[in-house]
Amino acid sequence: MSLIVQKFGGTSVADAGRLRGAARRAVAAHRAGHQVVVVVSARGKKTDELVSLAEEITDSPSAREMDMLLSTGEQESVALMAMAVAAEGAEAISMTGAQIGIHTDSSHTQARIIDISTRRMRETLQAGRIVIAAGFQGIDDDRNITTLGRGGSDTTATALAAVLQADECQIFTDVDGVLSTDPRIVESARLLRRISYDEMLELASLGAGVMHSRSIEFAKKYRVPVRVRPAASESDGTLITVVPEDSDSGARLITGVALVRDEVRIGLVGVPDRPGVMGEVFRRLAEESLPVDMIVQNVGQHGLAEVSFTVPEQNRDEALVAAAAAVADLGDGEVDHGQNLSKVSAVGRGMRSHTGVAAHMFQTLGDVGVNLNMISTSEIKISVLVDRERCEDAVAAVHNGFDLHEEETEGLGVGVELPVADRRAELSEREELEQDVVDRLASMEDIVVSEVQLDDEQSRITVRGIPNTAGVAAALFSAVAEGGIMVDMIVQNDSRGGGGGGGHASLSFTVPRRDLDAALLLVRAVADGWGGVEISFDRDVALLSVVGIGLRSHTGVGERMFGALAVAGINIQMINTSEIRISVAVGLEDGASGHKCLAEAFGV
């Protein structure tokens, strides 16, 4: 018998009418012969209201009591939903996270799921009843109520779907599905019919609020087909699923654009350039449980290095503490920070196999006069830090620049929907490795690192002292792209970047070694026009990558990776991070030993 999980978000159960509509959907699925588990969020703005109640009492409520309070929103919803289902003539039982047995760790307000008992849900389903599960909550070893973080009901839904091996997890929400960007920013945002787990994981982690990013980690790890659908109509929405890698070249260059409105940039300036700098930074950030958003290290000069990273503005104070501690430990340097910044990211698996995607993105931003304060690229994403007052223009420019409002044409990854068994058979070699690791996890949300890769055929080019104004990166990378050269890793750092432009930036990127000389000629031709620019290169560079799932949001991965490289005495030239890969550029002579030490550190 097939099993379906249906999750209803806050708006979709906000009043009696909508709640009844949701109940009717669940009952219809049940009558159609499916076993049905319904996951419900708190109604409407309930969770925000509860947060306000706490704020009326104190500025610093205990995290445990916040969880006790916030979990009541979902408890109200499940009881009402069970009544609504009963009123539609089906049998239902509501359950809290504790009653189901959603066992989490004890990190209140951000708890991670360890395991989930299926016994009570199975018994209820087998008795022909619908299970109504409270989203967003669990219980720790000491029976404290925990919550999974804002937006966490999505994660409850995909986690239940994973342990119950559901045929589909349906996420009902207030938009038509996953769109090419947030429709509140760009009205012409278009519905995506199908998207790969990796793209959705990056988009969610980079700010696309439609799904909690940890829910996509579950979906990817446990191969849960997820469908994001509108609660208000019958349309099919978006299927999040395995998309074969060999179809990348036919994919759109960019699938979606995401925005994090409130970012701060923290800079460590004038720190000693020696192995261990990044290890120290990541260790201190992990101590504060902070995942870094973008992180950039400039290639050292005069024995000094410069590291910049961004975090959401709400984490500014902890990040400054972490940065100060790192500087103190390194023995030299200063901390500065830049505010009123936003992060705009473009995500698309098509960029794996096409040149010029970054150049085109920078061009569209340059054309509307948006200055790039920082750049960081990874396999399937490009992020730029822009002045906050221009952030919506930037999202719109990138969206329009890649024609994302246009209907997908045949063959661009729309695809036919495959039965579940086939979807599971569609795994690439990398995904097979991943499944192996997932099968052995002690705790459901543990880090998954499936592979460490070495690419020893790269060179690095660094351009220092470039004018920090709109259009500069565009000119540079357009020239390189016109030469048909694949640029792999790009980092740009604006040393005194607090927004507002001015000053100078420095930019590093890697190209295949065979293309180095051609790339240098192209770069010189452009950069010579700017005056005072200094170009340097390292012909022999290696890229080391740790590949897995949820790497950026698990603070421990960076700590372990950079700690291991520091112990091995390996100096890092460049770095980029994403949910599916963290890569560093190191000297070619350190490639093989770095590969070995990382493989040992992650036990792969």
Q: How far is the CB of 584 from ligand ADP (least distance, A)?
A: 30
**Closer to ligand ADP by Cβ: residue 261 or 424:** 261
**Closer to ligand ASP by Cβ: residue 153 or 255:** 153
Q: How far is the CB of 233 from ligand ASP (least distance, A)?
A: 21
**Closer to ligand ADP by Cβ: residue 149 or 183:** 183
Q: Which residues of 201-228 are buried (b: 16+ CB within 10 A; e: fewer)?
A: bbbbbbbbebbbbbbbbbbbbbbbbbbb
Quick one: which of 556, 554, 546, 542 has its CA closest to 581? 546
Cα distance between residue 294 and residue 415, in whole Å: 33
Q: Which does 181 bind (CB under 5 to 8 A by kind): Mg ion, ligand ASP, ligand ADP, none?
A: ligand ADP
Q: How far is the CB of 495 from ligand ADP (least distance, A)?
A: 32
Q: Judged by CB under 6 A, which of 48, 52, 53, 184 binds ligand ADP?
A: 184
Question: In Å, how far are 33, 271, 352, 413, 462 from 379, measured between CA atoms?
Answer: 42, 29, 6, 18, 20
Cα distance between residue 41 and residue 151, in whole Å: 9
Q: How far is the CB of 82 from ligand ADP (least distance, A)?
A: 20
H runs (alpha helix) in 404-515: 420-425, 429-439, 472-482
How many residues make contact with ligand ADP (CB under 6 A)?
19
175 binds ligand ADP (CB under 6 A): yes
| DSSP one-letter string for 506-533 | EEEEEEEGGGHHHHHHHHHHHHGGGSS-
**Closer to Mg ion by Cβ: residue 125 or 231:** 231
**Closer to ligand ADP by Cβ: residue 386 or 584:** 386
490 and 460 in contact (C-beta within 8 Å)? no
151 binds ligand ADP (CB under 6 A): yes
**Closer to ligand ADP by Cβ: residue 237 or 499:** 237
Q: Which does 510 bind (CB under 5 to 8 A by kind): ligand ADP, ligand ASP, Mg ion, none?
A: none
Q: Which residues 6+ apart lie within 8 Å of 421 measured at CB?
A: none
173 binds ligand ADP (CB under 6 A): yes
Provide the token pair at 144. Answer: 């404290």
Q: Which does 279 bind (CB under 5 to 8 A by kind): Mg ion, ligand ASP, ligand ADP, none?
A: none
Q: Judged by CB under 6 A, which of 3, 5, 6, 11 binds ligand ADP?
A: 11
In the chain the first and final C-alpha atoms are separated, in Å, by 38
151 binds Mg ion (CB under 5 A): yes
181 binds ligand ADP (CB under 6 A): yes
Q: How far is the CB of 98 from ligand ASP (least distance, A)?
A: 16
| DSSP one-letter string for 318-330 | HHHHHHHHHHHHH
Quick one: which of 160, 113, 168, 108 has its CA closest to 133? 160
Quick one: which of 411, 397, 407 has its CA closest to 470? 397
135 binds ligand ASP (CB under 6 A): yes
* Contact positions with ligand ADP (CB under 6 A) in 128-147: none
Pairing relation of β-strands 574-577 and 581-587? antiparallel
Q: Judged by CB under 6 A, which of 14, 23, 160, 210 binds ligand ADP?
A: 210
Q: Which does 362 bind (CB under 5 to 8 A by kind): Mg ion, ligand ADP, ligand ASP, none?
A: none
* Contact positions with ligand ASP (CB under 6 A) in 59-88: 73
Q: How far is the CB of 300 from Mg ion (least distance, A)?
A: 43
47 binds ligand ASP (CB under 6 A): yes
363 binds ligand ASP (CB under 6 A): no
Cα distance between residue 259 and residue 206, in whole Å: 7
Provide the token pair at 440. Answer: 């052995």
**C-beta neighbour count of 432 within 10 angstroms:** 10
Contacts with ligand ASP, residue ranges (CB under 6 A): 10, 41-42, 47, 73, 135-136, 150-154
Contacts with ligand ADP, residue ranges (CB under 6 A): 9-12, 41, 151, 173-175, 178-179, 181-184, 208-210, 256
